[in-house]
Amino acid sequence: MSQVLLILCLCIYAEGVLVAKKDPAKPKHDTIDVPNLHVMKLMLSLKSRGYVRETFSWQWYYWYLTEEGIEYLREYLHLPEEIVPATHKKAQTSRPARPSGGRDYEGGYRGKDGGPGRDFKPNFRGGRDGGRDGGRDDGYRRDGGFGRGGGGF
């Protein structure tokens, strides 16, 4: 049993998270070569001590290591401070930097924050006369109706 415990502790510490289907009769966990019941019971024990946070959704358990859990497992596994779970490592982003200078991709000026320039004047009036019906002249009156509403158009 101690070998199973060691394997599970190493797995949860390496990733920082662990997932298991709620199926105690399952002979083996999906990613770890141990019985699913052992995974569920170890994580229940760690949860009761406050070392992991648990989320349950659609018959799956999701466990996340807390800061106390990281410290506990670091002591238990005799790991140095430099080794941290994968969820605590800073990701290296390879995205290009945003273009600066307030220039649009077509070359037009878009203002200091990238929004429309000072001369932008939106027009929301609709059609020809800009009335309530948007300038439609199809013979229907759209400003009345039955009941409390304004006609529904």
pLDDT along the chain (153 residues), means of 10: 80 86 85 87 90 90 89 86 76 64 53 69 63 59 61 56
Name residue 127's amino acid.
G
> In the numeric block, which tokens belong to residue 77?
């596994």
Q: What pLDDT is attached to residue 148?
A: 67
Question: Please, what's the b/e burial string for 70-109 (b: 16 or more CB within 10 A of its CB; e: otherwise)?
Answer: bebbbeeeeeeeeebbeeeeeeeeeeeeeeeeeeeeeeee
Rounded to the nearest 10°, the torsion over CA 18, 24, 27, 29 is: -10
Q: What pLDDT is attached to residue 59?
A: 87
Task: Give the H or E element holding residue 9.
Answer: helix 2-15
Q: What pLDDT is attached to residue 135?
A: 57
pTM score, whole prediction: 0.54
> In the numeric block, which tokens belong to residue 6?
């060691």
Q: What pLDDT is attached to residue 48?
A: 93
Q: What pLDDT is attached to residue 47?
A: 92
Q: What pLDDT is attached to residue 36?
A: 87
